[in-house]
Structure 1
């Protein structure tokens, strides 16, 4: 532990500087390097009750769950029950899309590397709970298409991981929350982890927080979690830092749990961490299976982030340094996660994290002006004095009135207008945001790229790990 004392002190100083005025109600971090580890917590876990945030407080994992879902799916590959390169419909014949050929073309691998292109990112059915929740989500996909031909690009995919969760349910005969418990939590020694939301009543569990109109004040979320139907994509699992350190160590050990049990084959652990898809965009790291493989401070971190109502989590392993880092922040200061993670990684490598792009003189191409659209968002762009003006709206979703309510409670704005400044040809940052902002995991996703058309993919915008095709 002595080797980590100076790092622990630095992290403690960062946390001590946080408050509602910095957008943080509470936060927690866990760090493991080799056999040593520490965890630190700060602030309030629940603004409604005043509950203190402790290192064993649980919190909603959000989309970091996608790495866990991918791990469980690959256990089925290990067992010979699933073929990664088989069509997903082999295991889910009920899976259809508005474009029948697209559903036929989507493989199991495409579900967990964000290349399936399914245009249903914000879909969150809430009417069905329990054993049939995942199935209810998939039944609604019949009304949706794709933003590009399957395999022709990268588009962040909640539906891909819900489909993966349904394959897990089919192959194990268990609902997702029981399957992940038996096939992962119990095996990895994740003793406090659960995908059953009501378990939050039985243990200290954090909730999210949002900004208010009053400077320096935050309010508690009114929505604990997203619907159960999206459990496999990250809606329901609750963990502690100890759980995630155990999971991270399992991956660092080539699939062996801390107690020596085999969770996943060494070959598939390596395949999860191997670069499979790379758009060459600085804001969209290469993709393995479940992991985003982000170059940072002279090394590569296998990473995933996650959002819950009013909270964000960040999780990475750094194989070169045998390290695990996990954090959760309650409040709108998502970038505190980046500060915590880059501080650890810079300590490990002895190098400073730098922006993932080389700045160059550029301005917005007037041909970028136009209409772009994907599910539940409409984007109109215009160019002015070399800058890009991006107006985004989310029209009411009449097919499911719950969706608008859920997204509003989640904190998604119904409309926004942002000005972007070119930082390199075809690459933009929100005006006033410096390049240093992009050195961490979350910060780099704020970059926006103008993607030209390619085989199977129209011209479009790429930002926040998502592709928005040009229309009209």
Structure 2
């Protein structure tokens, strides 16, 4: 992968202005456009121990790690060692779920495209040893199930962690070693690691959490537990992640010309497998990739977040374009990253990405929508004040009380508006989640039973 690295004064100026607008300690941006790499890095790794951010600063990329897990899994598919349509129990016979039929029938492909029917995740810590992932999978009998396998899409961290166990059982090696040997090394990703012992000797970014008084404090947890590595455990650099984007825009060959993944499988990852309704995550899921049609072009991407660090990673295959944005403060890393991605799409491709406009709210609908909705770690209260609707998302007290991980502060209630159409789709209109979209789910009798936010179903409890 030869490259020419250049700078763009307009990009750098916009990134600097965005960092100032959102009070972001550090941001790293990498773009592949017109056959060249363009970099912009601003700010520092930490407010307590400030070191300039560069293209080689390691950030925690959270769920963007799923693209690596999926690629490693598909290498096993290419070798004939895994069948995407086979039940997961073919490779993880020890799998036990709340529903035996689901445990016996859920397939590998359904884990990859988030149609397994799993709740988001389990909040537990099974240790940092090589048995951590196996122990996590053994605890999946406690995981709530949202639907039968294949019935609907709902984004699940637990599902991708289970894919990591598929990889371990098939290869007989620890998950992290398989990814390092079959993905990192052949693609030439020398700055990508799972273990904090590998990261702490390099230049790395610290996450930050904004406190009630507006100040930023360094997050004392850098990443999640080992069992969450398949779904979100990689620390990597802007330079490596941009190289990863170029690999996925290519033909499946690695840094030294060897085939890492056959071209047909590489491209199959970006083919829609299930559509999503009014979701900010995507219009459809491929095999891991989140697919969106924006202003006439198809985008494939995957974001990631955790402990005050945020990643936005987007490809526009038909235009041979990739962008990586990494930032290190919560909660405004999300809107900061999005602003930079949108600016770059318009500046380099002439592609306009904008939020939909809500319609005036009919106050008579307030009682129908209002209520308490729930997932494993959070409770969401929907309510109306006059002609304005709000979603108030709070981490459950028992999750905070359990300790062991650093939980970000709660956000103020988000105002939202109903979109044109059937009246069940909405968009958040202000705050750190501005532009996030979702919908209210109904049962066969037309009663509202849940609300989707960020690809996850919050079930109605009152």
Distance across 2 between alignment mates of 1:432 and 1:252: 34
Normalised TM-score (structure 2) = 0.90
Q: For residue 454 of structure 1, report the CA deviation from its aligned partner.
A: 6.1
Q: For residue 112 of structure 1, report the CA deviation from its aligned partner.
A: 1.3
Return closer, same or farther for 1:258/1:361 CA change in 2, 3 Å cut-off: farther
Residue of structure 1 equivalent to 2:191? 192
Residue of structure 1 equivalent to 2:258? 261
Residue of structure 2 equivalent to 1:373? 374
Residue of structure 2 equivalent to 1:467? 457
Residue of structure 1 equivalent to 2:141? 142
Residue of structure 1 equivalent to 2:55? 55
Distance across 2 between alignment mates of 1:222 and 1:4: 34
Distance across 2 between alignment mates of 1:371 and 1:218: 31
Return closer, same or farther for 1:389/1:242 CA change in 2, 3 Å cut-off: closer
> Could you tell me whether the CA contact under 8 Å between 1:249 and 1:257 is conserved in 2?
no
> Could you tell me whether the CA contact under 8 Å between 1:321 and 1:348 is conserved in 2?
no
Return closer, same or farther for 1:350/1:450 CA change in 2, 3 Å cut-off: same
Instruction: Compare 22-31 and 290-299 and name the one that shifted more.
Output: 290-299
Return closer, same or farther for 1:418/1:358 CA change in 2, 3 Å cut-off: closer
Residue of structure 2 equivalent to 1:241? 238
Return closer, same or farther for 1:106/1:416 CA change in 2, 3 Å cut-off: farther
Residue of structure 2 equivalent to 1:314? 312
Instruction: Compare 370-379 and 357-366 and name the one that shifted more.
Output: 357-366
Distance across 2 between alignment mates of 1:388 and 1:147: 26
Distance across 2 between alignment mates of 1:375 and 1:363: 31
Q: How does 1:22-421 map to 2 (within 5 A)?
A: 22-119=22-119, 121-215=120-214, 217-234=215-232, 236-285=233-282, 286-332=284-330, 333=332, 334-355=334-355, 357=356, 359-363=358-362, 365=365, 366-397=367-398, 402=402, 404-406=403-405, 409-413=406-410, 417-421=413-417
> Could you tell me whether the CA contact under 8 Å between 1:209 and 1:220 is conserved in 2?
yes
> Could you tell me whether the CA contact under 8 Å between 1:43 and 1:53 is conserved in 2?
yes
Residue of structure 1 equivalent to 2:438? 448
Distance across 2 between alignment mates of 1:126 and 1:274: 35
1:17 is the counterpart of 2:17: yes
Distance across 2 between alignment mates of 1:284 and 1:375: 20
Q: For residue 82 of structure 1, report the CA deviation from its aligned partner.
A: 0.6
Return closer, same or farther for 1:9/1:194 CA change in 2, 3 Å cut-off: same
Distance across 2 between alignment mates of 1:317 and 1:431: 26
Return closer, same or farther for 1:368/1:19 CA change in 2, 3 Å cut-off: closer
> Could you tell me whether the CA contact under 8 Å between 2:358 and 2:418 is conserved in 1?
no
Residue of structure 2 equivalent to 1:422? 418
Distance across 2 between alignment mates of 1:59 and 1:389: 33
SS in 1 for 2:274: coil
Distance across 2 between alignment mates of 1:131 and 1:282: 36
Distance across 1 between alignment mates of 2:117 and 2:401: 25
- For these two proteins, the number of residue pairs brought into alignment is 453
Distance across 2 between alignment mates of 1:112 and 1:30: 27
Distance across 1 between alignment mates of 2:302 and 2:310: 11
Alignment RMSD: 2.8
Normalised TM-score (structure 1) = 0.88
Instruction: Compare 342-351 and 63-72 and name the one that shifted more.
Output: 342-351
Distance across 2 between alignment mates of 1:262 and 1:304: 23
SS in 2 for 1:129: coil
Instruction: Compare 415-424 and 161-170 and name the one that shifted more.
Output: 415-424
Return closer, same or farther for 1:282/1:161 CA change in 2, 3 Å cut-off: closer
Q: For residue 90 of structure 1, report the CA deviation from its aligned partner.
A: 1.2
Return closer, same or farther for 1:427/1:23 CA change in 2, 3 Å cut-off: farther
Structure 2: which 5+ residue stretches go unaligned?
none
